[in-house]
Structure 1
Amino acid sequence: MPTSPLTFVSQTCAFSVGTSQSWTNGRCSHDYRLNKAIAHELDTDKDIASYRLICQATNDAIDADNKSFWRAKFREKFALKEGSSNSSLQGLYQNRAKQLRRGTGYGFFRGHKKRELDVIEVLRDLIIETFQGPFEIDEYDRPFCKNQTCLINFVLNSKILLNNRRAPQPSRGEPAHVNPMLAAIKLMCSHFLFELEGAKHDVFAIEESQRAVYLSTNAAPMYQGLNLTDVNMEWVLHCLNFFRHHMMNEEVDTLFENMNALSVTQKPSAWREPLRRGAYPLGKHWKGTYAYLDAKEVVKIRKLHPDQVGAEFFVDKNVEEGKIQSLELDFVQDGHRLRWPTVFEDRLRSLRDTTTPPVKTQGRSKPKMVTEDPKLKNIQFVGHGNDLDDDFNAIGWLNPLPPQAGIPGWQRITFMKHFMDDFDQVDRDNLWAYEGVVLPGGRIILGRWWFASDPVDFNNDYNGPFILWAVDPEPELTDDSEDEEVSC
């Protein structure tokens, strides 16, 4: 029968005392250094707590010496936030351990309950503080941080993403919408989903996500607020769930086989550097896909009453065929600006200010432009790829966004996907506008496309969802074989 942690450490302590030592008033007098060495070998937080309670000597081994034990323990598990005292690290470590342990039993359906919010705040801090200090390199030469390991373990052990049931009806007084902070945390934790071996990716209420991603732009705007700088987290989460359903569920028989065939470095992956505010160039190499319905189906799915959602089956095209595309992006540097057609700006509104909050004046608010900080300036890019065996080009912009739910690093991306006609001119009858959200870290983009050859009525635009993810450059194939000599 397994020995409990408390019994184990008690026996260890008693053994270390030996026959010549004794217990006096609940205190053992054996070597302090041995106690501390034992404490550092304990694997779980529960064992540490148990060991600390055995006697005054074991308590001193953990809490004495200016609480240096807690700094060492914190650095073992988390990225160290510089400038923190040992006492503050003790409190931070203990709170994180408690919340992460408790959080494995919560549903995280909407994230409004106090106990869920306590866990969400810990997860947010882990995300914000990634790569603060030394980091490690994995077997694929990719940087990773201890905080990311904690996040992965929480995803595997909790219900925050790998839930096993549909969300229940809101309880009395509970808002029906998803807390934007919870949605932001789910989006960030979703970076890890695509490399989890053996995980069961049940996406419940997929029919609700399917309807959401085909709603008109005005019915489900991607950006909200006075300056259109607040990300509509719930819509973006619907978009993520929609594609996760197709990409990770073998039973759906759409994108799973092709996703499964990709090498690890060609699948969506986690961010590899500290999160930073402002606009910053992204990687060059991307993969992705999009989905669409026929125009009549789009009209039909939008008219469905919420109670009717799921009553009729709609087949998402493009993903149904398992299509994954490649795209290369090149970002303009040193303030150089490429030609940006007026019709592109008219359709996309790429150059609107996304960084400056309004300044209060008497009776009204007006934006105050701030352009001195280079991180707050828009970045232009061009791209090229292949769709339905036709080469296409793209030109667009990255706009910096303020922190969302306390997390920095979000960007707005817009670009016009276009094809060239027989005279090597832009085919104005085949324009497709893309608007999306770059998740912090710059490795995943989720968003909406729409047909943009004609002036757009955003109450009735023909649109659909897309996803892009950054990948490592694939090694060039070389032929190292040598001609063999043939002897006669």
Structure 2
Amino acid sequence: MDRNLPSGEVAFNRLSIELNKTIAHCLSDHKDIATFNAICRGTSDAIVGDNLSFWRAKFCEDFARPPNKTNEQLCRLYKERWSMLRRFVNMKTHPKYQFVRGYTLTEKAIVKIVTDLINESFAGSAQSDGNRPRCENMLRLKQFVLESRLLLGGRRPPPPSKDEPVSVSVSLAAVRLMATHFLFDQAIHPGSWFAIDDTQRAVYAATNETPLYLGPEKNIVNMEWILQCLNFFRYYMTDSQASDLHDAMQELDESQRPSVWEGPLKSGSYPLGNYWKGTYAFLEHKDLTRFRKLVRLDIHTDHIFTDLNIDEGNIQSLYLDFPKDASALHWPAIFEDHLHSLRESEPAQARAQHSKKSTPAASNEPSSIRFDGHGEDLEDLFYASGWLNALPPQADIPGWQRITFMKHFEDDLEFVNRDNLWAYEGVVLPGGKIILGRWWFASSDDEVVDLDNEYGGPFIFWAVEPEDQVQNGDEE
């Protein structure tokens, strides 16, 4: 008898195909499933019979089902994903599978898988988990983020080889930005941080040295800077020994903390949520000047420059309004001179050729959206007037937007006090839940702006639920 042929004499042959399928669904490793498949004809029919319907059901247990995939394709995709995901999680059996800069073949393979999980999140029908939508891809992503070295437990990369770039690949940086959504509710051990000094050097760099947008059309996100900015704030938010910001975050209701995206990623320009919280950091003028000088000269010092505002745990609120008819909203020339909000951020071909993995924006939707808002910073009321601009997909992930706004202190834009303006330029991460970027003082008396010494620093905003609804819910 050929040992490779399933036996017809094993007890599993007496069970119905439905019961054998139920048993097979209890197996989590595709190698165990292969072993079960080889036991007898009954188990084999459960696994490969009925046009591989078992593999379609098994795929949907663990992942959101992408459209237009056959059962055979889902079977192959299921095995490929779990094989690679488990290699990068189990460091004891696969110590070489680590993240460095994203240029090795194995790194590219796992980054591609994680990118697909991000792009296909909430594909098909999504379930509800309490008050939030639930998606199997989101569960797999969070599990991978917490168990792999994508963001945690890594090591400082060794010097690059002769032909290897020094910077992290754009694809790996983009995946890390999206993966960080899952870490804000996690207490991170201080030992997990090994490059906070690098993040500080990055976020206070002058605009002309590290612009937020690159390329001839200024529509390519500077992923490395945005990732450094996110790591900078996540450090202060999650490390109890770093600053009072950690304690301030812990005191917030869960609905007032950063959260993950809650629907399919979509291309184009789209309105954001109305309610936001955020914070920013700054150095004293003289400290910023000295700090930049030391960075340019590549001089390391034991002197600690205190990141002000976040050291006291200050969190500001922001309300954004996106009126359907924004034609009546005034846009002062001085705002445009500083922010360049009206430049084309998304090429025409990018608007016409949306990613197949994203929800396309309607053809009649604008590529730019005007908004107004107001907020409270240290009990001072301020106003925010700005624009959202669509961006082409970045690193094969759709849904990025450029945001620019001017922070001012008069609600009548016809009579703005030009002596107290603060410009903000940032990146809205796909899903519209987190904004990262740079602020700078926009009321200098100098006719020519000295970009080398322009006063500014980093900021972060995250979408939250309306506080009055949270309070009403608590009362009920």
TM-score > 0.5 by shorter chain: yes
Give the aligned partner of residue 349 of structure 1.
340
1-side partners of 2:72 and 2:5: how far apart? 27
Q: CA distance change for structure 1 residues 300 and 200 in 2, over 3 Å: closer, same or farther? A: closer
Give the aligned partner of residue 128 of structure 1.
119
What is the CA-CA distance between 1:348 and the residue it aligns to?
0.3
Give the aligned partner of residue 19 of structure 1.
none
Amino acid at match of 1:400: A
Q: CA distance change for structure 1 residues 458 and 413 in 2, over 3 Å: closer, same or farther? A: same
Match of 1:404 among 370, 386, 394: 394
Match of 2:289 among 290, 299, 307: 299
Alignment of 1:325-404 (within 5 A): 325-334=316-325, 336-356=327-347, 373-404=363-394
CA deviation vs aligned residue, 1:285-314 (integer Å, no higher than 9, x gap): 000000000112112222225753464311
Root-mean-square deviation (Å):
2.7
- Please state if 1:111 is matched with 2:102: yes
Amino acid at match of 1:418: H
- The answer to whether the 8 Å contact 2:391/2:400 transfers is yes
Q: CA distance change for structure 1 residues 342 and 175 in 2, over 3 Å: closer, same or farther? A: same
Alignment of 1:30-49 (within 5 A): 30-31=13-14, 33=17, 34-49=19-34
1-side partners of 2:208 and 2:349: how far apart? 23
1-side partners of 2:54 and 2:167: how far apart? 43
Give the aligned partner of residue 61 of structure 1.
46
- Please state if 1:95 is matched with 2:88: no
Q: Percent identity?
A: 51
2-side partners of 1:51 and 1:25: how far apart? 13
Give SS of 1:250's match.
coil
Give the TM-score, by structure 1 length: 0.86
Match of 1:145 among 135, 154, 166: 135
- Please state if 1:188 is matched with 2:181: no
1-side partners of 2:301 and 2:125: how far apart? 48
1-side partners of 2:259 and 2:307: how far apart? 25
Amino acid at match of 1:247: M
What is the CA-CA distance between 1:357 and the residue it aligns to?
6.0
Give the aligned partner of residue 289 of structure 1.
279
Q: CA distance change for structure 1 residues 66 and 276 in 2, over 3 Å: closer, same or farther? A: same
Give SS of 1:392's match.
strand
- The answer to whether the 8 Å contact 1:289/1:467 transfers is yes
What is the CA-CA distance between 1:36 and the residue it aligns to?
2.5
Q: CA distance change for structure 1 residues 441 and 480 in 2, over 3 Å: closer, same or farther? A: closer
Equivalent pairs counted in the alignment come to: 447
Alignment of 1:12-31 (within 5 A): 27-29=7-9, 30-31=13-14
What is the CA-CA distance between 1:376 and the residue it aligns to?
4.4
Give the aligned partner of residue 251 of structure 1.
241
2-side partners of 1:396 and 1:48: how far apart? 55
Amino acid at match of 1:381: F
Which 5+ residue runs of structure 1 have no aligned equivalent? 1-22, 360-370, 482-488
Q: CA distance change for structure 1 residues 100 and 252 in 2, over 3 Å: closer, same or farther? A: same
What is the CA-CA distance between 1:472 and the residue it aligns to?
0.8
Amino acid at match of 1:463: G
Give the aligned partner of residue 436 of structure 1.
426
2-side partners of 1:109 and 1:376: how far apart? 39
1-side partners of 2:291 and 2:348: how far apart? 36
What is the CA-CA distance between 1:337 and the residue it aligns to?
4.0
Give SS of 1:65's match.
helix
Give the aligned partner of residue 238 of structure 1.
228
What is the CA-CA distance between 1:479 and the residue it aligns to?
13
Match of 1:475 among 464, 468, 472: 468
1-side partners of 2:4 and 2:148: how far apart? 44
Structure of higher CA gyration radius: 1
CA deviation vs aligned residue, 1:405-459 (integer Å, no higher than 9, x gap): 0100000000000113999942211100000000001000000000001253333
Give SS of 2:371's match.
strand
Q: CA distance change for structure 1 residues 28 and 289 in 2, over 3 Å: closer, same or farther? A: same
Match of 1:312 among 271, 290, 303: 303
Which 5+ residue runs of structure 2 have no aligned equivalent? 92-96, 351-360
